[in-house]
Structure 1
Amino acid sequence: MFQAATSIPARIAPAGAARRWLALATLMFPVLLIAVDNTVLAFALPSISLALQPSSTQALWIVDVYALVLAGLLVPMGSIGDRIGRRRILLIGATGFAVVSAVAALATDSAQLIAARALIGVFGSMIMPATLSLIRNIFADDAERRLAVAIWAASYSGGAALGPLVGGALLEHFAWGSVFLLAIPALVPLLVLAPVLVPESRDPAPSPVDPPSILLIAGGATAIVYGIKEIAHDGGASAALVLAAGLGAGWAFVRRQLRRPQPMLDVQLFRNPAFSSGLAANLLSIFSLVGFTLFLSQHLQLVAGESPLRAGLLMLPGLALTIVTGLAAVRLAARFSAPTVMVAGLLLDALGYGVVLAFGHDGSLPALLAGFTIVGAGVGLAETLSNDLIIASVPPSKAGAASAISETAYELGAVLGTAILGSVLGAAYRLNVVVPEGLPAASAARARETLGGAVDAAPLLPRGPASELLASAFHAFDSGVAATAAIGAVLMLAAAGVVRLTLRPPARRRVS
């Protein structure tokens, strides 16, 4: 969809280095916001659970319906941006993102919030492809463009690190809706400065917009994640059918792209082992980080009783290490090779989950924080180089399409990290929690569904039964940590093995 991006003449770039870098700074506002949004809501989930009292399934949908919609629409929105103008679709997306975020902050029940989050995902999908395409056209010089793209990529790690900290600070003093209002001050500078500093660009020969492909990729991704959620929650044949329908839609999407002379997504790229390995490492790295963030943020606030701000500060070292190791990855790769550093990062992810499995299964806070810090270091190494590998493994004419697929993998990793690990965590909680008698039926049902529901219901009981409920709920929640850690460790080890085998350097011939 972006194949022609590199062929657009350099004259569209702003004249003068200062203006180019000011344009880049302007484009970083939405990138930071999108990255913050991936982590801040999972961090705010305990406050939302207490305020809106969602079911466990609703709580997961609140978190990942945004990333699900975003991932499903990245490729088609990129194609539309190629046709109508990338700056134009960026400004449309930013305006809608800000307006709907304000609406989400005023939601009064879970259904309203889920609907608002889905709309935010629609507008977010307009922002993501446009920023990278614009950067590639603003910076005609190869060295400058590489630095600009590196800064663009680092903004995701920075946003992930800022999410819990900013969210904790806001939740310390304001209601949960304040995390959505972040969009307004983050996007106003873009809306004011982009028309002045950022040049418009279009693909002179864009791929045609294909509505059936849009429906297949968006509907298939939705059905797959919904099926995973429902299988973990209730099981049953209906959930399996939904999952099968999603996989069928994905298969039909691939078949359609292979048959079209101008596909919306060039699925032939996946035949390249280096491309596919980089994509898997990218997806699973984000899977490990987002999944860990989901249960650690709830444990810190609801089990350990930390304030939102202190919880954010406790998580900051692990998230900050993602940035530090990401910046160090390029230098390490020059010395040890990119595949070696990627494998080391994935093994660190596995080690972090292994620490939790060995020492944090009973809710030990030092073990959980140590494991999270190790995972943060591993994600920085693996995710940064996986993006480089994805771009470097395809011809220059395919670099734009490869970037869009990389972004899609990032968002799908966030979705699946929440859906799979969150569903396992919720299932373990429901299996182990014991709710004493004496609660109203609705409160008892919520206490059986989520940890937030149990914390909310405890004040309705006398002191003794309330203590019993909380003790049981905390134990039930932490019982799921071991299961999620085991899944995370196995997936990271498998990813390390795939990268190691796929990207094995060719054997050197012995000189006789």
Structure 2
Amino acid sequence: MATDAPAEGRYVSGVAAAMTVVAMGLGYAISIGDPTILSANLQVVSAGLQISGSTSTFVASLATLTMAAAVLSAGALGDLYGMRRMYLVGLGGAVVFSAMAAAAPVPAVLMIARAGVGIALAFLIGLSLALTNAVFPPGRRAAAIAAYFGVGYAVATPLPALGGMLAHAIGWRACFFVVPTVAAIGLLITWRFVPETVPAARRLDVPGMVLFAVALLGLIYGTSRMETGIDAAGLAAVGVGLAAGCLFVLQELRTPEPALDMRVFRSSRFNAAVTAGVVFNIVLGGSMVLLAFYLVTIRKESHELFGLLLIPATAMAAIAATSAGPAANRFGVRTVLISGLVIMFAGLMVLRNFDLNTSRPVVFATTALLVVGGALVTTPQAQIMMSSAPDDLGGVVSAVKSAVNEGGYSLGPALFALVGINLFFTDSAHHLSDAGVTRSEARQALLTAHGGREAHLVNPEQAQLVISQAPHNAIDAIHTLSMIMAVGPVIALVLALWLIKPVKNG
């Protein structure tokens, strides 16, 4: 049974402590698993509702966009009105809007439902960590946070596959049954075992929350538009996002009751943790897309193979995340965070040596190194950021962590896809310069191979040369990208050594 509010000096223990970790882990699993479930079943959902290609892509990203826009507001509302109460709202919203998506008769209803799901996910990802941090005593928080991430990874791992099984066995609507089932279980456990936090006594900073939402929406939407090339709308969205971000900082510095107290950034430990979070998510997001491209596009393997590789890799990440708490207590958060960055760096170095015939065990080992390294960074990052949070800003700081990580994970694929495509075309033109193939002609040749609009502009013999050389040039681009990616963990590692003092217990 839940104990009294932590602010009164009592925390969860025994069964309530274990069930609190499970309830919060389920919320985290939903928030990271739901977008993947839809992405994995997008074709069957689109066919079921007769949604066009461009619209289906928007539907797939809608929940992520609204989650990013609402996450700071969710954290602030949790601080002001009680984290448990707002977390229950998030779980209830996940049930209602997922059911709405399953029953959607037309695409417009599905879009409304997915936007609502994203808002619900903002409460789950923004408050689950904050609640875990709030209801455990300081000496047990490291282990609790580690177990929370472990539960989240473990539960999230099979969700996409389960959604796919239901969709193929019953119909496309069934893939939306997974999230409300998990959310309902989490709601019951939270209602029974999780204590409420004491509301903070301050007003909502509505202008700050709006500016934060616009900043994240602009940056995430804009970068996603530029995955295959510079796009005017994407550049405009990024510009709006950057402008809103600057205005947000000014608003928070001048308002007496900011949504995000900017004083938390005076902590060198906090800044090092934020940097590590941005870096590992950029690298993780980019490398997952890169590995999928290598297997499916270059090697012509099935989409399912990469999913099968991710399942044991993510299970290993769950074990690593759970072990990170006790390891942080024994060796210090800095040591664990640095270990995670080093492991990610090692994975990128293995990726640097891929060729057209790299064995599947090596591909799996690379995937595991990247995912496990990220899990080892996540736990100490959360511990450092939450230990820097004032008592009345736990929800907001947790939301900032989620926003930072989500932004980085969205930026990675767009950034490295844009760089990789340009590297590929440049390499193609360089290798085929003797045959008179220019960079523009290389691009046109590949458009020809995929039925592009510029097919009539291409010399057939030159097109054949480009297409035959394409796998080798793509491998070269992967080698260069892996080295560019490796700069990120190195920078984060140097900052961690410099800014985080080697003390134990976070």
Query: Which stretch shifts more, 315-324 or 392-401?
Result: 392-401
1:317-356 equivalences under 5 Å are 317-330=312-325, 333=328, 338-356=333-351
1:211-290 equivalences under 5 Å are 211-233=206-228, 235-290=230-285
Report SS of the residue matched to 1:151: helix
**Residue identity opposite 2:181 in structure 1:** P
Q: TM-score, normalised by structure 1?
A: 0.76
2:487 aligned residue (483, 493, 496): 493
Partner Cα separation in structure 2 for residue 261 and residue 369 of structure 1: 51
Q: Report whether the alignment pairs 1:125 with 2:122.
A: yes
The alignment-based identity, stated in percent, is 24
Contact 2:344-2:489 at 8 Å conserved across structures: no
Q: Report whether the alignment pairs 1:188 with 2:187.
A: no
Query: Which stretch shifts more, 114-123 or 72-81?
Result: 114-123
1:150 aligned residue (143, 146, 165): 146
1:312 aligned residue (303, 307, 312): 307
**Residue identity opposite 1:249 in structure 2:** A
Contact 1:44-1:167 at 8 Å conserved across structures: yes
- CA deviations on 1:184-211 (whole Å, 9 max, x unpaired) are 2112223344334333334141x32222
Partner Cα separation in structure 2 for residue 39 and residue 355 of structure 1: 26
Query: Which stretch shifts more, 64-73 or 277-286?
Result: 64-73
Partner Cα separation in structure 1 for residue 124 and residue 327 of structure 2: 32
Please report how far the alpha carbon of residue 235 of structure 1 lies from its aligned counterpart in structure 2 after TM superposition.
Answer: 2.4
Q: 1:45 to 1:273 in 2, by over 3 A?
A: farther
Q: Report whether the alignment pairs 1:22 with 2:16.
A: no
1:436-451 equivalences under 5 Å are 444=451
The match for 1:371 is 366
The match for 1:98 is 95
Q: Report whether the alignment pairs 1:503 with 2:500.
A: no
**Residue identity opposite 1:496 in structure 2:** V
Partner Cα separation in structure 2 for residue 370 and residue 480 of structure 1: 21
Unaligned runs of 5+ residues in structure 2 are 426-442, 456-462
Q: 1:505 to 1:6 in 2, by over 3 A?
A: farther
Report SS of the residue matched to 1:504: helix
Please report how far the alpha carbon of residue 362 of structure 1 lies from its aligned counterpart in structure 2 after TM superposition.
Answer: 7.7
Please report how far the alpha carbon of residue 217 of structure 1 lies from its aligned counterpart in structure 2 after TM superposition.
Answer: 0.9
**Residue identity opposite 1:118 in structure 2:** A
Partner Cα separation in structure 2 for residue 42 and residue 168 of structure 1: 10
Report SS of the residue matched to 1:80: helix
Please report how far the alpha carbon of residue 133 of structure 1 lies from its aligned counterpart in structure 2 after TM superposition.
Answer: 3.9
Q: 1:242 to 1:318 in 2, by over 3 A?
A: same
1:108-123 equivalences under 5 Å are 115-123=112-120
1:165-176 equivalences under 5 Å are 165-167=161-163, 169-170=165-166, 173=169, 175-176=171-172
1:74 aligned residue (54, 71, 76): 71
**Residue identity opposite 1:355 in structure 2:** V
Contact 1:46-1:301 at 8 Å conserved across structures: no
Q: 1:417 to 1:64 in 2, by over 3 A?
A: farther
Q: Report whether the alignment pairs 1:33 with 2:30.
A: yes
Q: 1:328 to 1:101 in 2, by over 3 A?
A: same
Q: 1:237 to 1:347 in 2, by over 3 A?
A: same
2:405 aligned residue (407, 410, 416): 410
Query: Which stretch shifts more, 381-390 or 229-238?
Result: 229-238
